[in-house]
Amino acid sequence: MTSRLIKQVATEQAMLALGAQVAQTAKEGVILFLEGSLGAGKTTFARGFLRGLGYQQKVKSPTYTLVEPYQVADKIIYHFDLYRLVQPDQLAHIGIHDYFTPTAICLIEWPEKGVPCIPKPDLVCDISMVGEGREVCIQAYSEKAQAMLAQMS
């Protein structure tokens, strides 16, 4: 079974399409870390993910609110951006553990800032800038994430 997938992404549209492709395979309860430097395309990936599930309204980065909830059809998606988080224990003030339910899908930008207060990921999308494009390495860390990668291969 595939546990890692590498994709070359040349444009913003291609990043949106990759996010949508991952969304089409998303299982309930999956925790997806979005890693990469500032401007790498994490929020663009999240926007594509939400659009891939059918969400048509504006998708904004929750940089100041830390989390943005979305209801799409019968799915609940929480999009976190922990960039401005100073200390991980600040997450207790927003009731961080209440978001990680067996049915919610959680997308987390800048997850390293929330460790150890956030659960381990099922899937990690590491986005690297390569010239004008991006390289996205998608790594599975659970059986449900391996099933997602198998569907995408």
pLDDT at 1 over 70: no
**Cα(51)–Cα(17) distance, integer angstroms:** 9
The mean pLDDT of 83-110, rounded to a whole number, is 91
> Amino acid identity, residue 86?
V
Lowest mean pLDDT among 38-42, 52-56, 91-95: 91-95
- In our burial notation (b when 16+ CB lie closer than 10 A, e otherwise), range 47-74 reads bbbbbbbebeeebebbeeebbbebebee
- Per the rule left: phi > 0, alpha: psi between -120 and 50, beta: everything else, 29 is left
pTM, entire model: 0.93
Q: Is 86 exposed, middle or buried (CB count within 10 Å of its CB: 0-12, 13-18, 19+)?
A: exposed
| pLDDT tens track for 46-75 | 999 999 999 988 887 776 678 999 999 889
pLDDT at 93 over 90: no
The mean pLDDT of 99-127, rounded to a whole number, is 95
pLDDT of residue 56: 87
Domains and CATH numbers, the chain: 4-142 (3.40.50.300)
Across the chain, what does the average pLDDT equal? 92
pLDDT at 2 over 80: no
Angle between helices 12-25 and 143-152 (to 10 degrees): 130
